Chain A
């Protein structure tokens, strides 16, 4: 710091007391401090909510997959638990066939026993027994495994070893069959595979029972990019000039959004949706403030009053210098809305891989953060944050196409329209409602 040599100025200027509304200012500060702390708490709760929802989805997923794993384990391990009871000839023959396929050392008699037992136990299955090919094995092993599950008969430990050995030596076609097998396969997939091996007759008997109304769950994430539109209006004619001025001053630039949605189907066509979202709307404020500054420029050392009675006093020999300054204020306003979504989707199949969907979502936004400037009724530029309401509600509509990428993954692309349902301003006479139209791209994972 330099040593002050303008003490007079400093002391004079520092001693000035400016009158202002102390209570009003403190109220504003207190409100903002409260808002900030509340926002922090809301963000904390929101993060906690996401964690809880994610945990629930994970638990749901695990609960859906774990029983499936235990069933398959039972199919392979149950025979090993009982050691003595060899009452089921079909079980024995299964293992015999397994050995024959695995090492090519087992006799043909065992294979014939296997075939007869299989046909006995499942008469509707007619397998072309003359063909010793992988597809035949698939059908046989399939029906035998079904039998083994149903009968849960015992086998010796050596037979169990042979069975497990066989599983490791399955052909790719067999592996494929099992991978799309009972718990998750559908009729068409199994049918198409078996058709390749001329085994269409056995499809009905070996395919699992189809649930006519399967309940599916999915988790999807979608990105939105579009153009916003601002609908500014005033409740009375006195504020109409504000509407005109704000329309000129604001330019809507772009809007972005991210949705994380959990969907649960209630029928083949309808899905209930719920999730969280974050949206951003950006606009540019461009306005000009005109200032006029009049300065006196001395040009004569003699000073005397010419017009002493007028409102303005002019000094002889002085000229006035008028400076017009137009200050253009350009500011980018960003509005973030963070909240929860609830709605539904209607979808219908176009073909095996594609579906058309129509989606509707109500979006409630407990968090509404804005950063920018606002032109008020008087034409003055102030902060936007002090004029906005806190909880906008939106309605979003989306329509588009869903394409299946695999049995689990699919993507959606569509047109999205969103509109505010309430006023974004807290001023009763003025209203700002936003709309956004754009493209939405999303990825969905079936749980």
Chain B
């Protein structure tokens, strides 16, 4: 951590080597963020590129009192991803009926699956569901915060999440059954 603080001080001065060091340190995490929100590779690159440009040019805007550097960079990456989705007009959020209860995702359903398979299933969700799911479940934002970020109501965020989890559950379940059959054979 001391090392990253040292790197960050140099980044603030515009040092190119420090910028590259920061990139090496954080690119895997940011790519993970971008891959969860955007489906195609070219969009990942665009989002990553824009995110790092912003990180380097707006580095003075980072306030250590408000959170960690990793969280700040992840937030920038998330915003870039949402921006790209908006530009592509793919962030279509349909308000579905709010069931007011979240489906219980039984651990057994995906315990047999690899992490990458779960990741791919999340990627396969439609952009709207994927965004709400990632913001709420992975990033840890509340429905109010998700609603503000996506310009929808908190109830719409809740209903989107319910629907996303339901679809994910069904897909994971089918995968598991398929895999069980393969093992049985």
A35 to chain B minimum Cβ distance, whole angstroms, is: 10
B49 partner, pick from A6, A12, A28, beta carbons under 8 A: A28
In the complex, chain B residues whose CB is within 8 Å of the CB of A315:
174
A2 partner, pick from B52, B53, B140, B185, beta carbons under 8 A: B140
Whether A1 and B141, one on each chain, are in contact in the complex, defined by CB atoms closer than 8 angstroms, is yes
Whether B140 and A1, one on each chain, are in contact in the complex, defined by CB atoms closer than 8 angstroms, is yes
Chain B 148-185 interface residues, beta-carbon cutoff 8 Å to A: 170, 174, 177-178, 181, 185
Which DSSP category, helix, strand, loop or mixed, fits chain A's interface?
mixed
A307 to chain B minimum Cβ distance, whole angstroms, is: 12
A216 to B152, CA, bound (A): 65
- Interface digits, B42-78 against A, CB 8 Å rule (1 contact, 0 not)? 1011101100110011000000000000000000000
Whether B107 and A2, one on each chain, are in contact in the complex, defined by CB atoms closer than 8 angstroms, is no
The stretch of A15-23, A259-267, A354-362, A430-438 that contacts the partner chain = A15-23
In the complex, chain A residues whose CB is within 8 Å of the CB of B6:
none
A320 to chain B minimum Cβ distance, whole angstroms, is: 12
- Interface assignment of A329: CB less than 8 Å from any CB of chain B: yes
Whether A33 and B53, one on each chain, are in contact in the complex, defined by CB atoms closer than 8 angstroms, is yes
A13 partner, pick from B36, B49, B56, B181, beta carbons under 8 A: B36
A313 to B118, CA, bound (A): 20
Chain A 336-390 interface residues, beta-carbon cutoff 8 Å to B: 380, 382-383
- Interface assignment of A58: CB less than 8 Å from any CB of chain B: no
Whether A20 and B57, one on each chain, are in contact in the complex, defined by CB atoms closer than 8 angstroms, is no
Whether A327 and B140, one on each chain, are in contact in the complex, defined by CB atoms closer than 8 angstroms, is no
Chain A 275-310 interface residues, beta-carbon cutoff 8 Å to B: 296, 298, 303, 305, 308
Given A16-B119, A26-B23, A380-B42 in contact, is the A9-B137 Cβ separation under 8 Å? yes
- Interface assignment of A4: CB less than 8 Å from any CB of chain B: yes
A243 to chain B minimum Cβ distance, whole angstroms, is: 22
Whether B138 and A10, one on each chain, are in contact in the complex, defined by CB atoms closer than 8 angstroms, is yes
In the complex, chain B residues whose CB is within 8 Å of the CB of A10:
137-138, 140
- Interface assignment of B12: CB less than 8 Å from any CB of chain A: no
B14 to chain A minimum Cβ distance, whole angstroms, is: 9
Chain B 3-57 interface residues, beta-carbon cutoff 8 Å to A: 16, 19-20, 23-24, 27-28, 31-32, 35-36, 41-42, 44-46, 48-49, 52-53, 56-57
A4 to chain B minimum Cβ distance, whole angstroms, is: 5
A303 to B177, CA, bound (A): 9
A131 to B67, CA, bound (A): 96
Whether B140 and A12, one on each chain, are in contact in the complex, defined by CB atoms closer than 8 angstroms, is no
- Interface assignment of A8: CB less than 8 Å from any CB of chain B: yes
Whether B89 and A16, one on each chain, are in contact in the complex, defined by CB atoms closer than 8 angstroms, is no
Whether A25 and B28, one on each chain, are in contact in the complex, defined by CB atoms closer than 8 angstroms, is no
Whether B44 and A20, one on each chain, are in contact in the complex, defined by CB atoms closer than 8 angstroms, is yes
Chain A 17-56 interface residues, beta-carbon cutoff 8 Å to B: 17-18, 20, 22, 25-26, 28-30, 32-33, 36
Whether B45 and A25, one on each chain, are in contact in the complex, defined by CB atoms closer than 8 angstroms, is yes
B181 partner, pick from A18, A305, A329, beta carbons under 8 A: A305
Most buried by A among B46, B138, B181: B138
In the complex, chain B residues whose CB is within 8 Å of the CB of A327:
88-90
- Across the two chains, which residue of chain A brings its CB closest to B74? A14
Whether A29 and B23, one on each chain, are in contact in the complex, defined by CB atoms closer than 8 angstroms, is yes
- Interface assignment of B116: CB less than 8 Å from any CB of chain A: yes
Whether A13 and B118, one on each chain, are in contact in the complex, defined by CB atoms closer than 8 angstroms, is yes
A12 to B174, CA, bound (A): 19
- Across the two chains, which residue of chain B brings its CB closest to A10? B138
- Across the two chains, which residue of chain A brings its CB closest to B144? A2
- Interface digits, A74-102 against B, CB 8 Å rule (1 contact, 0 not)? 00000000000000000000000000000
A17 partner, pick from B32, B48, B136, B142, beta carbons under 8 A: B32
In the complex, chain B residues whose CB is within 8 Å of the CB of A331:
87
Whether B138 and A22, one on each chain, are in contact in the complex, defined by CB atoms closer than 8 angstroms, is no
- Interface assignment of B99: CB less than 8 Å from any CB of chain A: no
In the complex, chain A residues whose CB is within 8 Å of the CB of B132:
none
Given A25-B48, A313-B178 in contact, is the A2-B20 Cβ separation under 8 Å? no
Whether A33 and B56, one on each chain, are in contact in the complex, defined by CB atoms closer than 8 angstroms, is yes
Whether A32 and B53, one on each chain, are in contact in the complex, defined by CB atoms closer than 8 angstroms, is yes
Whether B52 and A29, one on each chain, are in contact in the complex, defined by CB atoms closer than 8 angstroms, is yes
Could you write out 20 A-B pairs with CB less than 8 Å apart? A2-B140, A2-B141, A9-B105, A9-B137, A12-B115, A13-B119, A16-B32, A16-B119, A18-B31, A18-B44, A20-B45, A26-B23, A29-B52, A29-B53, A32-B49, A308-B185, A313-B178, A327-B88, A331-B87, A383-B46
The 9 closest A-B pairs by CB, nearest first: A2-B142, A6-B137, A16-B119, A18-B35, A29-B52, A12-B115, A18-B31, A10-B138, A9-B137
